[in-house]
Structure 1
Amino acid sequence: MFQKVYPYACLSIDCTWAEWFRAMKRAIYTSETSNQLKPKISRLFSAEGNVIITLCVRSAFDLYLQALNLPIGTEIIMSAINIPEMVRIVRKYGYIPVPVDIDIDTLQTTPERVEAAITKKTGLIIIAETYGTRYSLAGISKVAKKHGIPLFEDCAEGFCGRNFSGDPNADITVFSFGPIKTATAFQGAVMIIRNNPQLLSQIKRIHQSYPVQPTKTYFKKVLKYSAGLIYLNWQGLNHVLRPPLMKIGFDYKKRVVGLMRGFPPGKGLEVYRYQPCAAMLSFMYRRLAIFNAEKFFKLNRGIQEGTDILTAGGVTVPGYAQRDRTYWLYPIMADETLKAYKDLNKAGIDAYKGISQLNCVEAPIGDSYTQPKNAIDMFEKLVYLPLHKDVPLKDIKKICNKTVELLNPKPKL
């Protein structure tokens, strides 16, 4: 048995049981209509009527690509970290994903890398701000405008309150409110289209042609995600069940993570082509309207103290140099990843290796493309720690100090 168990999972569902019951209630009956709810959500992000609410970020991305209607063989520049499904959608359209590498200390790419990747075939630039990082896209936007290429900002992980609606330099910004995101509505995304009324009109027309997702489908999703609240958020259960399950080698984490997927991977694009039902819109509006940004940032500052402990002890934390950051998933790097994973778990720290869908975007085959070496190296060494806003500061410090002790990395020069 463990000498000590820290009863926090690597992933936390940002929802209380009271809020979950409200979602269930709305899935049974919602008094407002979709047409009443959409403008209310839209005004939380923009007063210009340029917001579209979709099932998920992938729905928004698919909508956008339909409206752009780029030629087959178009190259899509992507910052080198994203989920495989976004890359698969690019390929589904007959386009070529071209990654640009990131700097591990900031998780940013640079305007210089983006410009070096642009060719006559480039039709779109996608910048994904991952692991809660946010940064200015002014330089990349300048490069995009120079070449007449639209800039798509993927802020799926970046919601931190209604005062942040994405970078105004981006042509498109998307936020996710899926099951493992901040202020989760268990589904849903927001897309903001800037300075292009014609494109906005085209996207709206396509979206309005979709059928509405049946309310019973949303009900089933909310019901399913109750398992996440039980296995991930319930500290008492985590404390009691995790040690014996680990001892017998039962990988319950893999099962829970699989259960939390919003959409099954590898399906056709038709799975994304629905409008949200009124029940989902009603619950999303509530989550956004009551979101306490001040409390959210206060809790995240505690995790920053943990980052300082880790980096001072020589542990590499991707994005550690980004002080303007939120934390919903916490990665570190270890040279001996499997050993680090086992040692941390033996010490009662619920470390995990594959809890996120995020992965490296690999370059196409050919001499004209460059593999994103930093991103590849990072993903080969990633281990996730149970550090998020629901972990008290005293335990954040204990977990981080224990991690430094166990990994015993070489001091940074």
Structure 2
Amino acid sequence: MTNYLDSYKSIFLDIKFRDFWTIFSLIRNEKRLSSCEVLTNNLIQYWSKKNHCSNHYYLPLLCVRTGFDLFLRANQFPAQSEIIMSAINIPSMITVVQCHQLNVIPCDINLDTLEMNVNHVKRLITAKTVAIVYAHIYGRCVDVSELVDLAYEKQIYFIEDCAESFFGFCSCLSEDKNSNRSAVEMYCPIRIQNNNDPSCYMGHPRSHLILYSFGVLKFCTSLGGGFAKISDHNLYTKMLDIYRKDPIQEIQQYSLNVKKYFYLYWLLNIPYVIKPLMYIVRLLNLDHMGFVVNRLRAFSKTPNREELFLSLRRQPCRPLLAFLYHRFQTYDYKHLEMQKEKANYVLNNLEKISTIQLIGMNCKLKNFWLFPIIVSKPDLFVQLLSKHHIDAYRGTTQLNVITKQLSDTDNIPISIDDHHKCPNAEYLIEHVIYLPVHCYVPKQVLNQLISIVNKTAKQIEQYHLRSKL
């Protein structure tokens, strides 16, 4: 019975077989699709109807990094200008900043709330600071109102990286039959008036730039693509003028990516394929997740300037634009409710043991993109879980600590002193593991997982106690 745990991975593709059929059809019939301008306008109109603020501007993107690069291209900040960034992000976001000859200033986060301390951010701001970037991670979302107010006070930009935070649109704006009717947006006026708990997040109304991802591992994935939400008309105009001059993504490249993801879909989503495959993996002691994760990533290693800009400075091709629109219209938001239900079920049944720490449990909004926990001795924890056929993994995402990346390169803008250290973020990345908990895992399998994780945590706790004697 326990071996059923082998059938589920810590990551999955939030897509159905019929969606692959749709995108292959769109690629095959690309010449029949409307123009990029028409497809883009369809997307913009759709998003405009799904947001409370009517004074925002929207831009479909190739990916989040494309939008961030576009923002920096539009502003042309002086060399050595500083951008304060929350301490955990993906390496290529840091590389984008460095390739523009700008300096990254890391700011630590609280592990319970995932917030940046506003007073600490104030101390980091200098005459060279041009922007603050906050990345919401793991689906947990923070009320950034104080940070936004600080940015406006200091006359600098505030940017939200919501790559891991899309959980549908606010129900008060949705008329679609597939919409998440129970979803309430954090800054929804009706929610604030009634003091209800939020359940989805579309960014702060006053943030200058909000970036969303619909890449391969994200909810409502389009196997690529992203969206920018911009509150300043002048900024939007500058970004749009530059973007229109960029070449369009080659359909062949997108097609190759879709085919690759289709093969990985069978390895990550289909239990009848995963279970016998895991027998071989364990027999031969293969690093199967390393193989999969490397093929899911846009870059297997940190790219140089030319590689990065060549890959990012593209407009989405017509099949990708059409598929984004299709996904928004047909996506079953009940998956998101089920994801949250399954994750909360596991959280409520994990015992309070010193060797397990939960992440962001005091956030204003707790959704679940992946299921990370912080554990003592993570390598040992993963090994012990593996003996019970639980395929936990440490390197599931590209998320890393900014201080580590800065220390690994020659482009260190500041000495990593006590003022700039990020001990909380470093501890998280050094001790986080990802469990196979998501909407597709049956409850009876989750019960097995809960039992084994609790036993393993107690086993390691006893090991700690004995080692202190």
Q: Same fold (TM over 0.5)?
A: yes
C-alpha separation in 1, matches of 2:352 and 2:364: 15
Normalising by structure 2, we get a TM-score of 0.83
C-alpha separation in 1, matches of 2:73 and 2:337: 37
How big is each residue's C-alpha offset from its partner over 1:201-250, in whole Å with a ceiling of 9 and x where there is no partner? 11000000011112121111111111220111111121111133123211
C-alpha separation in 2, matches of 1:310 and 1:78: 33
The aligned runs of 1:2-17 (5 Å cut-off) are 5-17=5-17
SS for the counterpart of 1:94 is: coil
C-alpha separation in 2, matches of 1:234 and 1:223: 16
Asked if residue 290 in structure 1 is aligned to residue 290 in structure 2, the reply is no
Asked if residue 191 in structure 1 is aligned to residue 231 in structure 2, the reply is no
Normalising by structure 1, we get a TM-score of 0.94
The aligned runs of 1:205-216 (5 Å cut-off) are 205-216=241-252
Asked if residue 18 in structure 1 is aligned to residue 18 in structure 2, the reply is yes
C-alpha separation in 1, matches of 2:122 and 2:135: 17
SS for the counterpart of 1:78 is: strand
**In the alignment, which residue of structure 1 is the partner of 2:185?**
none
Contact 2:113 2:142 (8 Å CA) reproduced: no
SS for the counterpart of 1:275 is: coil
C-alpha separation in 1, matches of 2:2 and 2:346: 23
C-alpha separation in 1, matches of 2:351 and 2:16: 32
**In the alignment, which residue of structure 2 is the partner of 1:119?**
126
The aligned runs of 1:323-338 (5 Å cut-off) are 324-338=365-379
Asked if residue 40 in structure 1 is aligned to residue 90 in structure 2, the reply is no
The aligned runs of 1:394-405 (5 Å cut-off) are 394-405=444-455
**In the alignment, which residue of structure 1 is the partner of 2:116?**
109
In structure 2, what residue type is equivalent to 1:289? Q
How big is each residue's C-alpha offset from its partner over 1:336-358, in whole Å with a ceiling of 9 and x where there is no partner? 11110101111111100111100
Identity %: 27
Asked if residue 359 in structure 1 is aligned to residue 400 in structure 2, the reply is yes
Asked if residue 79 in structure 1 is aligned to residue 86 in structure 2, the reply is yes
Asked if residue 393 in structure 1 is aligned to residue 443 in structure 2, the reply is yes
C-alpha separation in 1, matches of 2:299 and 2:329: 26
C-alpha separation in 1, matches of 2:439 and 2:117: 30
**In the alignment, which residue of structure 1 is the partner of 2:427?**
377
**How many Å apart are 1:310 and its aligned residue?**
2.5
**How many Å apart are 1:294 and its aligned residue?**
4.4
Asked if residue 245 in structure 1 is aligned to residue 295 in structure 2, the reply is no
In structure 2, what residue type is equivalent to 1:374? N
SS for the counterpart of 1:242 is: helix
How big is each residue's C-alpha offset from its partner over 1:132-165, in whole Å with a ceiling of 9 and x where there is no partner? 1112110111111111111000000111112243
Change (3 A) 1:342 1:162: same
**How many Å apart are 1:27 and its aligned residue?**
1.1
**How many Å apart are 1:295 and its aligned residue?**
4.4
**How many Å apart are 1:311 and its aligned residue?**
5.7
C-alpha separation in 1, matches of 2:221 and 2:265: 12
**In the alignment, which residue of structure 2 is the partner of 1:303?**
343
**In the alignment, which residue of structure 2 is the partner of 1:346?**
387
C-alpha separation in 1, matches of 2:249 and 2:77: 28
C-alpha separation in 2, matches of 1:165 and 1:43: 16
Contact 1:310 1:316 (8 Å CA) reproduced: no
SS for the counterpart of 1:124 is: strand
Q: Runs of 5+ in structure 1 lacking a partner?
A: none
Runs of at least 4 residues off by over 4 Å? 1-4
Change (3 A) 1:4 1:188: closer
Q: Choose 105-114 or 91-100, whichever is displaced more.
A: 105-114
Q: Choose 391-400 or 241-250, whichever is displaced more.
A: 391-400
**How many Å apart are 1:2 and its aligned residue?**
7.5
In structure 2, what residue type is equivalent to 1:57? V
Contact 1:162 1:288 (8 Å CA) reproduced: no
Contact 1:311 1:317 (8 Å CA) reproduced: no
Number of residue pairs aligned between Structure 1 and Structure 2 = 410
